[in-house]
Structure 1
Amino acid sequence: MTDVIQDSAANPASYRRPQQKKRKSRWWIPVAIILSVFVFGFFIVAVGLFALFGSAFKSKPVVVKPQSVLRLQVRGALEESASPGPFSFLDSNLDGDVNFLQVITAIKRAKDDDHIAGAYYHSGDIWAGFAKAIELKEALLEFKKAGKFIHAFLEFGGELDYFFASVADSIYMPAEGIVQLNGFGVSELFLKGTYDKIGFDFHVEQFEEYKSAGETYNRKKFSGPARRNIEEILWQRFTTYTNTIAENRNLPPGRVSTLIRRGMYSADELLEHGFIDNILAESEVKERIKKAIYGDSADAADENLNTITLAKYSQSDSYKRSGKPATSAQIAIILGTGMIVPGETGDVSPFSEPLIGSATFSRYLKKAREDKKTDAIILRIDSPGGSVVAADAIWEEIKKTAQVKPIYATMSDVAASGGYYIAMACDTIIAHPQTITGSIGVISIIPNFAKTLDKIGASVDTISTGKSAFFLHPYLPLSSEDKLKFHELSERVYHRFVDKVAEARNMPFDEARELARGRVWMGEDALKVGLVDTLGGFQTAINIVKRRLGVPEDAKVRVRFYPEPQDSFSAFVNFLRYLTESRLNPIGKKSNVLANPISDILPRELQSQIDYLYALYRLSLNERILVALPYKLNIK
């Protein structure tokens, strides 16, 4: 067979023009160019911003000049763990970003710093629990015993501002200054009358008579047990306060008590009764401090008064040198502040109250437990409780950790209900005499809107496989069977709580129940009845752990904090992320003072109480039974 090759040129009829291939679209080229320009532009802007603000985020070395004066002016809440504010890099002189442990540590290290001549306390509208207040006062007294002066200037303030100032060698006020010294009190908002008008009904189960959180929903005033319990706390605190002022100012305790109960406010009045030493402008006070340092010579008049804030001092070389450990022993300190909630602590507004997320806290425990360098663990607890499920999850993790390493609980201002629940799992409980603790009990609140629907003419029809399908239904009246069943469920949780207390404190169930009943105890009373092991503050816990590890009490040890301290750059980035997330997903985000200016005009105590009640409400959406302190006790 012969192959035949046809020539197209020889046979024009058979010729066909070759078909052109379809050109592919180049749409991606302009898109890529635009994206490249955008990315490059973003890079240039980022570089520019870091060039502009980068130096502000860097930790600059701070030199403490000779004859410096430590300026003490802490504003706002003295938190256990305060992160820098989102704009703190703009002004590192702000002491509002230092936390309680930093303040205490700075004062103790300044006591032994030869470049610190003394301290100048300036009122700053500080508010904190009384346990932290006494620890801070004791640190100031130690500073003073080291032979260093303390002078105080009060422009305004209340009992706490004066409490700290009373330690000073001299207290001054401007002529128009106002300090409210008028005793302590607790006020609570009861809304039953309001709810009755709109038909809201709340079924409350409390175990037992002292567990009175539900009274704000189903009563118009404090019950007898709640009133007695709060009065005990108030008078105990008032007695401690007046005795401290009397001792610091060398005044008769009875006279101090009478004058404060009557109320004192003006500089003239406080001077008349010996509560301050003179009425002077701040410039005159500073001149007196200069004379105390340099004397009355002509050369002294030309000297500058070198002051350094707590925030600056904590960045100084002097501060860091004095904190170098002399031993390889390491202690992990896990900070637990705020309401106990399930899951992660979460990304909340930088201006919100802190939370203890069970998953987050358990993760810290696991890290500390598995860290080979860590020899012991301290839990610093400042919590009114919250979710029973979350508290129990943390309790389990603490028990697991206690099998591996010694673990201690040191109670701050509050370690009550769920806060006590997690503390009792530790080897040793250290409470401050003024710690609010106990509140061993549970509270259950069920809202019902059947009367509201009736008032507006609405009706509810149902279809079900049985009447139990509508157990605790908010639109249907609660039956007696529902109430009995819910009572039994709540009682079981309460008994398990008391069982854990009895086991942890090595006492019979009936004895533990007698101490429970939802009753709030002060630390010194909790020691007497066996709910805690010893009294003391944060330093007491450190010293106990040192003895356990065989480390001399005066030796410094390595400390690792959980969560790790946040620098100003991280705070700024997290703030920007929060704003971005709020814009993308405003639903479900908690309001903050930037997004809700109305909160600025509310009293501080009311803001705190609303935040606490809101957290309880959010928890109750998923959990019917809570282990929380009856009230956010804002003692005024």
Structure 2
Amino acid sequence: MEIIKHAAQPGVKRPGSPDFPAEAGNPRSRIFLLEHVQAGYAGACPDKERDMKQQACSRFVGQVLLALLLAGPAAAQDTGPYALTFDMELPAVSVAYFPDMLAPVVNPAGVGFGRGLEVMFLHQQNLLVEPGQASRPSSAGAEGLFFRSGHLGLGIQWLRPLEQDDGFDYLKYSLTLPVLSVERSFALAGSLEILDPANNDADNSLDFSLGALWRPFRFLSLGLVGRNLGRASLNGVRSRRLLDVGVALRPLWFAPERLTLAADYRMVEGADDPPARFSAWLTLFAGLRLFASADLDGNFGAGLAVDFLHMGSSGYVGVNNGPDGLDAAYLLLAARASNLSGPGLVVGHGRTVRIVLDSSLSAGPQPSRGLFFRRRTSAWQVEQALARAVDDERVDSVLLQVEDPELSWVMVEDLRRQLERLRRAGKKVFVHLRDADNLRYFLACAADAILLNPGGGFMVTGPSVEALFLGGALQMMGVRAEYQRVGDFKTAVDTLTREQPSQAHRQVLDSLADEAADTFFSAVANGRGISRERAQQLIDGGLLTPRQALASKLVDKLVYPDELEDYLAEQLGHRTSMLAGYLHERRSPRRWDRPPQLAVVHASGTIAYRGTPFGGMNAHRIAAILEQLRDDDEVRAVVLRVDSPGGSGAASDLIWRQVVRLRERKPVIVSMGKVAASGGYYISAPADVIVAEPSTITGSIGVFAMFFDLSDLWASLGISKEVVKRSRLADLDSTFRGRTPEEMELIKQNVEAFYKKFVELVARGRHRQPEEIDRIARGRVWTGRQARQRGLVDELGGLSRALEIARQRAGLGSREPVEVVHVPRPGFSLRALLTELGLLPRLDASLLELLDANQRMLLQLATMGGNTPMTVTPLLVRLH
């Protein structure tokens, strides 16, 4: 080929030169373009030489024609040697359906639905096709690198439109940003494009495009793109404005994502429109897809894509029909990678999921970043990762490395259930403890093997139940608590009035201690394959060193962290590969519409109207969220995750009312956390189903009101106050005097009325008689297991079980994709601030729980004076 040699001769109107005809952009004018090229060459040949060079002229014209035909998949859309968009033309994509990372070159709106990190490399290889000869590679072609991170898209392309002519090669850069995004239904975005400023004689090398995507249904996607809106120029060739319209359908109602059909039409400003193009994509099975495209001019092609979980590759072979029966062929190869997992072929078995539990573990619903960008892992995230591993064909074992997480009984019970599921599925579970305490060892007993750091500690002493009493200290300070309550078991007031537990309080503490001990020692016995009596005997034998724990068979081996892989290889019978990033693995969305939603409303902390600086529950906020969910048709069911000891009776009633109204529209399931007692049970009672952990502290169906007489304290400090009133009870809540017997009787009537209402609401929600509820109420605290035996709880389980029930009640299949939405998002709390500042880990765990209790106590002191009945469980009870 001698295109460069001949095109450089004077007088030849070279494609791309200023006097080259703009009409060459007509996608149907390849013959018209040929006439201009031929005429230009003839003008360069004097008459006396014309006969001598006639053969050369014919050869040159044929070579130019062939080069234009081989310019790429859209040779029928050339402007000179350039495609109409100055982009790689990708045949098997639609502006209504395409990989999101190709947004810069297909439809900018693709970044509007973006999540995660994705990258794709494309290579286009043109093939020379001559009659009677085998096809061979051409130097004309293109490469493209496309990148998307969240809602940001970047692209760089190197395009070589002509065979052996570097003068027409160019780079194109694209930056794509969203303008508007509405969930997964509508997106509007734009692209800023730069045409090789280092190799461009034109004044205007900047261009921009605007694209929209609308996906109103799971089976329908509509795309619209305006291109070349700035009409950039390259080497004297100015682009034309284009409008691309596309529609994509997924006609298989039983498996919509398996087959996609699309049609696209392009409108060109000032020129004839190219033919419509049709595309199809068929998923044969997870990891293998076929795709094809064709247009009304007879250009067609087909390809095959092979996908793995985080990467994939594809190949496409296309044929373009040219004039006079001359054909062009090309090969398009692609490779992609993503941090999002998708359906794909499973390569490699015998993998080990490695999860580290350290101080970054939080009890919240979702991972977060702190004030200083420290990533925090949620217990829910760990639980879901373990649940995925159950069905993951790559995984044959799980290694849980427990370092220094802040655990709770409820959190450990959730994790133990997932470990037991893994073992039932035939997966090996190993737990490595840096140090062993009660909760960490309780968790480890669900594993096949317990490994202990040789330099660690074994501080396993068994559980206990504690109650703190401040009555003596308050009396010494001159503070006297005055209260009215219903039921001797409403022992919250004992904390501030007594120096030791009452008989009723002792009965509750004994019951909780028996339950905790039975749960703990049964877990040790089952996990170690010994009797319960032997398990308690070993624990009661005293503090053990790691070697003594090994000799007692309370652990299986002493292993340093760097020895873990060798140990696992020995136990599994093969070398293993660690899946260290399994915890943060996310799925790539395949649905066009947003899947049905299950909302999890986290109602945590002491219940107050507006919350507290210490992270209490804002009743107005929770009520407003429940009201919004009632009218949100995309939310099919709601799980109310209650982790609260109670609080203000009126604030509890505000939330209760919205739970009742929500239940009229959609299923409401309550999932109880560490504590859901008193006011926490009040807001749970109307639910369709109540799910609690075996160790959940619940019940405490009772009411009290409390006032404080600080007259002795004020007198000792020399403080006095004069009150002028015109009504008898105007200073009822004053701390400068005690209440009279008549006033205490009025308070008693108020408390009893609220208690009666409380019992009636519980009876209505539990479908029982008020008398039945009263017999198990009277302020009595129960564990989740005890509450189930008494009909206050329907099932034992965690949040995962509550979501399963919500899915069933909403009529959603077990394999139907759903989106779990957690609300409200965590706000500021003093505890979170202390954690981020590094102060929280340095505090003893028991002191932290005491601080939590005191936070709630401060809330009571601030609100009791408002004559508001309180529904709070005994606050300073701690299981550890």
Q: TM-score normalised to the size of structure 2?
A: 0.56
- The alpha-carbon deviation at position 534 of structure 1 amounts to 3.1
- The alpha-carbon deviation at position 129 of structure 1 amounts to 3.6
| CA distance 1:464–1:356, shift in 2 (3 Å) | closer
Instruction: Tell me, yes or no, if structure 1 residue 170 matches structure 2 residue 442.
Output: no
Q: Is the 8 A contact 1:155 1:179 kept in 2?
A: no
Residue from 340, 345, 349 that aligns with 2:607? 340
| CA distance 1:268–1:233, shift in 2 (3 Å) | same
Question: SS in structure 1 opposite 2:352?
Answer: strand
Question: SS in structure 2 opposite 1:231?
Answer: helix
Residue from 55, 61, 65 that aligns with 2:339? 61
| CA distance 1:602–1:282, shift in 2 (3 Å) | closer
- The alpha-carbon deviation at position 421 of structure 1 amounts to 0.6
Question: SS in structure 2 opposite 1:434?
Answer: coil
Q: Hey, what's the Cα distance between the residues in 1 that align with 2:802 and 2:812?
A: 13
Q: Is the 8 A contact 1:358 1:394 kept in 2?
A: yes
Alignment of 1:420-459 (within 5 A): 420-459=681-720
Give the match for residue 677 of structure 2. Answer: 416
Q: Is the 8 A contact 1:172 1:285 kept in 2?
A: no
| CA distance 1:536–1:186, shift in 2 (3 Å) | closer
Residue from 461, 483, 486 that aligns with 1:207? 486
Alignment of 1:456-605 (within 5 A): 456-552=717-813, 554-563=814-823, 592-593=833-834, 602-605=843-846
| CA distance 1:599–1:248, shift in 2 (3 Å) | closer
Instruction: Tell me, yes or no, if structure 1 residue 231 matches structure 2 residue 510.
Output: yes
Q: Is the 8 A contact 1:70 1:120 kept in 2?
A: yes
| CA distance 1:452–1:550, shift in 2 (3 Å) | closer
Unaligned runs of 5+ in 1: 1-53, 567-573, 579-588
Question: SS in structure 1 opposite 2:553?
Answer: coil
Amino acid paired to 2:662: T
Question: SS in structure 2 opposite 1:288?
Answer: helix
Q: Hey, what's the Cα distance between the residues in 1 that align with 2:727 and 2:628?
A: 49
Question: SS in structure 1 opposite 2:815?
Answer: coil
Q: Hey, what's the Cα distance between the residues in 1 that align with 2:659 and 2:699?
A: 19
Single out whichever of 276-285 and 617-626 deviates more from structure 2. Answer: 617-626
Q: Hey, what's the Cα distance between the residues in 2 that align with 1:174 and 1:102?
A: 26
Residue from 608, 611, 622 that aligns with 2:849? 608
Q: Is the 8 A contact 1:290 1:305 kept in 2?
A: no
- The alpha-carbon deviation at position 338 of structure 1 amounts to 2.2
Give the match for residue 373 of structure 1. Answer: 634
Residue from 74, 85, 88 that aligns with 2:357? 74
Amino acid paired to 2:356: Q
Give the match for residue 356 of structure 1. Answer: 617
Residue from 574, 577, 584 that aligns with 1:315? 584
Instruction: Tell me, yes or no, if structure 1 residue 404 matches structure 2 residue 665.
Output: yes
Q: Hey, what's the Cα distance between the residues in 2 that align with 1:594 and 1:503?
A: 42
| CA deviation profile, 1:522-568 (whole Å, cap 9, x unmatched) | 2222222222233333333233333334444x3244134131668xx
Amino acid paired to 2:464: G
- The alpha-carbon deviation at position 363 of structure 1 amounts to 2.2
Q: Hey, what's the Cα distance between the residues in 1 that align with 2:417 and 2:815?
A: 20
| CA distance 1:432–1:463, shift in 2 (3 Å) | closer
| CA distance 1:540–1:371, shift in 2 (3 Å) | same
| CA deviation profile, 1:363-400 (whole Å, cap 9, x unmatched) | 22122211122222221222221221221111111111
Single out whichever of 602-611 and 368-377 deviates more from structure 2. Answer: 602-611
Instruction: Tell me, yes or no, if structure 1 residue 306 matches structure 2 residue 578.
Output: yes
Question: SS in structure 2 opposite 1:615?
Answer: helix
Q: Hey, what's the Cα distance between the residues in 2 that align with 1:449 and 1:85?
A: 44
Amino acid paired to 1:615: R
Q: Is the 8 A contact 2:525 2:535 kept in 1?
A: yes
Q: Is the 8 A contact 2:601 2:824 kept in 1?
A: no
- Larger strand fraction of residues: 2
Q: Is the 8 A contact 1:124 1:161 kept in 2?
A: no
| CA deviation profile, 1:470-499 (whole Å, cap 9, x unmatched) | 323211233222222222222222222112
- The alpha-carbon deviation at position 508 of structure 1 amounts to 2.8
Q: Hey, what's the Cα distance between the residues in 1 that align with 2:602 and 2:402?
A: 27
Give the match for residue 544 of structure 2. Answer: 265
Residue from 383, 386, 394 that aligns with 1:107? 386
Q: Hey, what's the Cα distance between the residues in 2 that align with 1:79 and 1:441?
A: 28
- The alpha-carbon deviation at position 256 of structure 1 amounts to 0.3
Aligned residues: CA RMSD: 3.4
Amino acid paired to 1:101: W
Amino acid paired to 2:504: P
Amino acid paired to 1:61: N
Question: SS in structure 2 opposite 1:606?
Answer: helix
Q: Hey, what's the Cα distance between the residues in 2 that align with 1:382 and 1:204?
A: 26
Amino acid paired to 2:582: Y
| CA distance 1:370–1:591, shift in 2 (3 Å) | closer
Q: Hey, what's the Cα distance between the residues in 2 that align with 1:632 and 1:71?
A: 36
Give the match for residue 878 of structure 2. Answer: 634
Give the match for residue 100 of structure 2. Answer: none
Larger radius of gyration: 2
| CA distance 1:123–1:597, shift in 2 (3 Å) | closer
Give the match for residue 251 of structure 1. Answer: 530
| CA distance 1:376–1:150, shift in 2 (3 Å) | same
| CA deviation profile, 1:196-233 (whole Å, cap 9, x unmatched) | 22211111323221111121211111111112112111
Give the match for residue 86 of structure 1. Answer: 370
| CA deviation profile, 1:100-150 (whole Å, cap 9, x unmatched) | 322211101122223334221222233444333222111111112323222
- The alpha-carbon deviation at position 178 of structure 1 amounts to 0.8
| CA distance 1:452–1:174, shift in 2 (3 Å) | same
Q: Hey, what's the Cα distance between the residues in 2 that align with 1:88 and 1:596?
A: 9
Instruction: Tell me, yes or no, if structure 1 residue 143 matches structure 2 residue 452.
Output: no
Question: SS in structure 1 opposite 2:672?
Answer: strand
- The alpha-carbon deviation at position 172 of structure 1 amounts to 2.1
- Larger helix fraction of residues: 1
Question: SS in structure 2 opposite 1:546?
Answer: helix
Instruction: Tell me, yes or no, if structure 1 residue 193 matches structure 2 residue 472.
Output: yes
- The alpha-carbon deviation at position 422 of structure 1 amounts to 0.8
| CA distance 1:461–1:337, shift in 2 (3 Å) | closer
Give the match for residue 160 of structure 1. Answer: 439
Q: Is the 8 A contact 2:481 2:497 kept in 1?
A: yes
Amino acid paired to 1:605: S
| CA distance 1:564–1:208, shift in 2 (3 Å) | closer
- The alpha-carbon deviation at position 620 of structure 1 amounts to 4.0
Q: Is the 8 A contact 1:202 1:217 kept in 2?
A: yes
Q: Would you identify which runs of 4 or more consecutive aligned residues in structure 1 move more than 6 Å?
A: 54-60, 62-65, 322-327, 594-600
Q: Hey, what's the Cα distance between the residues in 2 that align with 1:285 and 1:305?
A: 12
Q: Is the 8 A contact 1:170 1:276 kept in 2?
A: yes
Q: Hey, what's the Cα distance between the residues in 1 that align with 2:845 and 2:768?
A: 41
Give the match for residue 280 of structure 1. Answer: 559
Q: Is the 8 A contact 2:686 2:766 kept in 1?
A: no
Equivalenced residues, count: 540
Q: Is the 8 A contact 1:133 1:160 kept in 2?
A: yes
Aligned identity (percent) is 24
